[in-house]
Amino acid sequence: MNTEPLTTLKGIGEKTEKLFAKVGIYNLQQLLHYYPRDYDCYAEPVPLRECRQEEKNAVYGRIVHSPSVKGNQRKSVVVLELYEEPVRLQLTWFNMPFLRSTLKKGSVFIFRGKIQEKSGRLVMEQPEIFTPAAYHELLASLQPVYGLTAGLTNKMVSKAVAQVLERCAPAQDYLPEKIRARYELCEINYALHEVHFPKDQEHLATARRRIVFEEFFLFILSLRQLKEQTEGITNVFPIRAVWKTEEVIENMPYRLTNAQMRVWGELERDLKGHTRMARLVQGDVGSGKTILAFLAMIMTAENGYQSALMVPTEVLARQHYESLCTLLKENNLTEYNPRLLTGSTKAKERREIYASLEDGSCKMVIGTHALIQEKVQYKNLALVITDEQHRFGVRQRTALAEKGEPPNVLVMSATPIPRTLAIILYGDLSISVIDELPAKRLPIKNCVVDTSYRPKAYRFITRQVELGRQAYVICPMVEESEGLEAENVTDYTQLLKKELPGITVEMLHGQMRAAQKNEIMERFASGEIQVLVSTTVVEVGVNVPNATVMMVENAERFGLAQLHQLRGRVGRGEHQSYCIFIRGNKDQETAKRLEILNHSNDGFYIASEDLKLRGSGDLLGTRQSGDMEFQMADIFRDADILQKASEAASELLADDPYFEKPEHELLKKVMKSYLDVENHDIGL
């Protein structure tokens, strides 16, 4: 592994190093595995009449009239008009007055950029300019587009990656040759080069397949090893069934669904069993998984033991804690002394919580990663529950389970994964599915529209806010990125502040500090913020019953399972809720996929239909979320590779379970480093 700092590369000083650090790159190894998030394809130039609005087009242009230049040296606009019967296209460049001497009358260029309609005319702003010969060299090539942050350009990243590929010694391939041959996988150095700088679509497909297979293969091997270590472990916490859980169920203001009762029966049976519980409860958004977790915690406390519920965000931890406290108070069960432990818990309170967990007086604790810090000691932790499990890494998953004797483990997920894939991905867990929604839930009304619908959508959001409701607006990017045609949170927030006067609009994204994110979510949950513009960071179960509108920009850039997760943020209260999916392009395949969402609110149906539609041919498609934080692999798009990687892992472990053969020596080392990384990104 090449852990040399980035400053060893030409052109990278301390200032640029800090920019790379913002996107999580600190050394050459990390840079090499910072894969492009998209590719810019230089297609054949098209006649003006064939240009597609809201998309990037390359057009052939002979300059008939010299461009006009308005303004001064500091603020100027260069305008050039192209005309092809019956279409006129206005090309505009800002603050580039020197172009007047480049764009001479009679010369021919290829102009490339996004075409939009503004004030009734077609406009291409800031287009790239090529001579026909220069463009011909780029034709059909794929240029990498990386995730960026302010100050870090695509050119800086691609130049740095090119240097690493050129100067670093070839990587040793730890995938056994036998497996590479059987599954037709290319060699690792070829894959790394082609995934960053592909010769064409075919070379990229070959490289991507290798990297995806590798991600799944390592993940599954680590999972199988974990299973071997934990399977059949005796349940050292004898838990008996108690009447108290029945009383709590009877006292609820609503009836549990048949599916909830069935799954509760399975949890109760596991907790009473002789072997340790290891179960996944899958349930669509709003299906009522949390109440089952609370019942399991009550059953554990009634037996004199402790339970811990770990969730990914502080806001969600606080919501769960408040819900649990309300439930216990309503049932006169306050003696369990539930506590909330997060990163922002004050030092004095933290010490008190540590003491109560160590002496056993606190029977229930809800929190974030703070629950697994070394200082936290439990007296008799019998049950560990993790919510939205894919957000936690392999080490984080096992760390909580290592706090004393092996506890019972319950994993909850709202990610709708078809059963065949879930069996592979959660190989060490029994699976329960809550396949029914509470009767009182109003179905969400959906619509899939193009960008021309925006003004109407803004008016609709304004009316909902006037009625006292709130709205989410989701964008795929944090800020503008060269080469990527998609809405971004930063600019969109400013736009909405102008479009929605008198309405409090704020933004939220993953690059904010944790305290800042918590503050924004708290203000939104309390109703102080009326419209929240965000990336998909909101998809992790925060409950704001007053939010009734979810509008998703560039819906085509998200996987259907992810869009369904986002939709689950609304429809949580008594009011009718709405979801508006805005397509940024007019592609018919995109429209076909999004129509599935338009006609169904069933996450499992959506996931399986998405799987059928995508197949393995969707090379540059949208990534799902909640699909374990793989860098490149996508469990939906790459379902066929996932199954092959599972097959390969099974065969290898059957042949050499402890990696003792010489040809598996390097793989053994890689597996050790994979499992030893404290906060590994690839989670369960």
Question: What is the SS3 assignment for 416-430?
Answer: CCCHHHHHHHCCCCE
pLDDT tens readout for residues 225-282: 777 777 778 889 989 999 999 999 999 988 999 999 999 999 999 999 999 898 989 8
Nearest to 299 by CA among 317, 321, 277: 277
Per-residue exposure over 96-121, b if at least 16 CB sit within 10 Å of its own CB, e if not: ebeebeebeeeeebbbbbbbeeeeee
The secondary structure element, H or E, covering residue 409 is strand 408-413
Instruction: Give dist(CA 21, CA 111) in Å, integer.
Output: 35
**What is the model's pTM?**
0.71
Q: Is 295 exposed, middle or buried (0-12, 13-18, 19+ CB in 10 A)?
A: buried
Mean pLDDT value across residues 194-200: 93
Q: Tell me, rounded to whole angstroms, the distance of Cα 531 from its chain centroid.
A: 21
For 171, phi then psi, to 5°, come to -75, 145
Point out which residues pair with 470 in neighbouring strands. Answer: 547
Distance CA 631, CA 34 (A): 8
Query: What does CATH list as the number for 43-140?
Result: 2.40.50.140
Q: What is the pLDDT of residues 3-38, one digit of tens each?
A: 889 999 998 999 999 999 988 899 998 999 999 988
For residue 476, whether the previous peptide bond is cis, meaning omega lies within 30 degrees of 0, is no
243-434: same fold as 43-140? no
Q: Is 444 helix (H, G, I), strand (E, B) or coil?
A: coil
CATH number of this structure's domain 243-434: 3.40.50.300
pLDDT for the residue 298: 97
Superfamily of structural domain 445-614:
P-loop containing nucleotide triphosphate hydrolases (3.40.50.300)
d(CA 271, CA 238): 8
Question: CA-CA distance, 507 to 521, in Å (whole number)?
Answer: 10
- Residue 339's pLDDT is what? 96
Within 8 A by CB and 6+ apart from 261, the residues are none
Most confident of 94-103, 413-422, 630-639: 94-103
Average pLDDT over residues 373-397: 72
Task: With cut-offs at 50, 70 and 90, classify the pLDDT of residue 484.
Answer: low
Q: How far apart are CA 133 and CA 160, in angstroms?
A: 27
Per-residue tokens: 533: 């513009």
Pick from 43-57, 268-282, 492-506: least confident: 43-57
Q: How far is residue 65's CA from residue 276's CA, in Å, rounded to a whole number?
A: 80
Would you list the domain boundaries of the chain? 43-140, 172-232+637-683, 243-434, 445-614
pLDDT above 90: percentage of residues in the chain: 45
